[in-house]
Amino acid sequence: MNPYKVTEDFEKAIADYTGAPFVVALDSCTSAIFLSLYYEGIKGKEIEIPSITYMSVPCEIIHAGGTVKFSPVDDNAPFLKGAYNLKGTKTWDSALRFTADMYISDTFMCCSFTGKHKPLKLGKGGCILTDNEDAYKWFKRARFSGRMECEYSGDDFDMLGWNYYLNPMISTLGLLLMGQFYNQAGSKKEMPDVSLIYPDLSQYPIYKTK
């Protein structure tokens, strides 16, 4: 049995549904955001995000070497809904959006399958949607400790990476549950954006990096 094949099949199912040319499955949306920002090379750059968002977003900006600028709270506070762009990058926090043909070209859209409120409820997991083949190849190795998807004996170990690979058992569950996003006739279902309450992170000194 090939333990990587089920993850590839799961990624292909997400690609077919979202309209993304390439998909990389990861252990969380947080990991997806970090790898996307790291790949973009944001060290020393100021990245603007809503002040009402999940805490891991400013964390990963800082971990990737950037600084955080919070947008003022708008009339929707304390609710965050759907997807938003991390301004100054091609990265999107799409933790609250998972729907048919959602992919926006020339972006890294980071999705979440973690938690009871997400459309695809896997308990844990996320992915990056992209049309950049070079980035796709880098993400695949970066998530797997720099490894190729092969036995140790067949690898060259020429890249540093992170342990963000999605457990194949979760990929199996995800592949089985993808059917819920299609009608009986085979057409794609449109899923509504999720809306969740988050704190105003601009009030917390830990995220003020300058």
CATH of domain 5-207: 3.40.640.10
At residue 154, the pLDDT reads 80
Q: Other C-beta atoms within 10 Å of 202: how many?
A: 18
Cα distances (angstroms) measured from residue 129 to each of 78, 103, 105, 183, 202: 27, 7, 9, 23, 28
Q: State residue 90's pLDDT score.
A: 98
* Beta-sheet pairing, 91-96 with 108-112: parallel
Distance CA 32, CA 154 (A): 27
Least confident range from 49-58, 83-92, 113-122, 149-158: namely: 149-158
Map out the domains of the chain as residue ranges. Answer: 5-207
Q: Does residue 150 carry a pLDDT above 80?
A: no
The mean pLDDT of the chain is 94
Over residues 1-45, the pLDDT tens digits come to 677 899 999 999 999 999 999 999 999 999 999 999 999 999 999
Question: What percent of the chain shows pLDDT beyond 90?
Answer: 87
Question: Is 210's pLDDT higher than 60?
Answer: no
Please state the rounded mean pLDDT for residues 69-89. Answer: 90
What pLDDT does 140 receive? 96
What 183-188 contacts at long range (C-beta under 8 Å, 24+ apart), as own/partner pairs, is 188/17, 188/100, 188/101
Distance separating alpha carbons of residues 94 and 110, to the nearest angstrom: 5
Q: What is the pLDDT of residues 94-145, one digit of tens each?
A: 999 999 999 999 999 999 999 999 999 999 999 999 999 999 999 999 999 9
DSSP-H helix ranges across 24-167: 29-40, 56-63, 133-142
Average pLDDT over residues 162-182: 96
Q: Which of 179, 181, 161 is nearest to 97 (CA)?
A: 181
